[in-house]
Amino acid sequence: MARNNEIPEVNAGSMADIAFLLLIFFLVTTTIQTDVGIDRKLPPKDTTPPVQIPEKNIFRVSLNKNNELFVEDDLLPVEELRKVAIAFLDNGGAKQNDDGYCNYCKGERNSKSSDSPTDAIIAFNSDREASYGSYVEVQNELTAAYNALRNREAQRLFNKDFVDMEKNYYDAKTPIDVKQELKKQIKQIRDMYPMKLSEAQTTFNL
């Protein structure tokens, strides 16, 4: 009697087979997420009429069809682009009493280079025959230059890395009140070093 009431044990021997089947299904149908990249905002279609910008505030970067990088008409290895771009952006050449004086710049304050980070423009031109790989490489280095400067200021003002601040801001788990605070701080840093990267055709005014 008592023996009949015992519940028979379920045979779990095939469990491994079922799980393996599922595992293999997921292995074949999926790809590991590679969805990261460099964000850019394109300029609107109806562009404003050409504006005159002093040549010293423009940093000309161009890529020719042999994937060679030219910075202000000189050949430059890609590895050095970051350093040169930082030096240009952080120059802060405006005089102490001028409007555009940059009190947080740590550059050389050369009067022949950019007045302040808010005036500095990087003009990037690429030949149509240049390879996309080197194009992205240049974009990456220029982004790195901005990020380095923004990180420096974010460390000084808020003791945080700018990149981490942005990551927290876009993270869905961050509470709203923290986000609002972060938004203000991010905007402040972005205003200090606005990303002015132009890919338009710029003409020389000689």
Q: Does 44 bind another protein (CB under 8 A)?
A: yes
- Per-residue binding string, another protein, 167-196, x by CB under 8 A, is x--x--------------------------
Q: Of 81-120, which residues contact another protein (CB under 8 A)?
A: none
Task: Give CA separation, 121 vs 68, 154, 193, 195, 196, in Å.
Answer: 21, 21, 11, 8, 5
Beta-ladder partners of 74: 71
Q: Does 34 bind another protein (CB under 8 A)?
A: yes
Pair type for strands 121-126 and 74-75: unpaired
Instruction: State the minimum distance, in angstroms, from the CB of residue 93 to another protein.
Output: 26
Stretch that binds another protein, among 104-112, 114-122, 165-173, 184-192 (CB under 8 A): 165-173
* Closer residue to another protein in complex, CB, 20/55: 20
Q: Distance between CA 89 and CA 146 in Å, rounded?
A: 8
Q: Does 132 bind another protein (CB under 8 A)?
A: yes
97-126 in b/e burial notation, b at 16+ Cβ within 10 A?
eeeeebeebebebeeebbbbbebbbbbbbb
* Closer residue to another protein in complex, CB, 62/185: 62
**CA-atom Rg of the chain in angstroms:** 27
Instruction: State the minimum distance, in angstroms, from the CB of residue 154 to another protein.
Output: 15
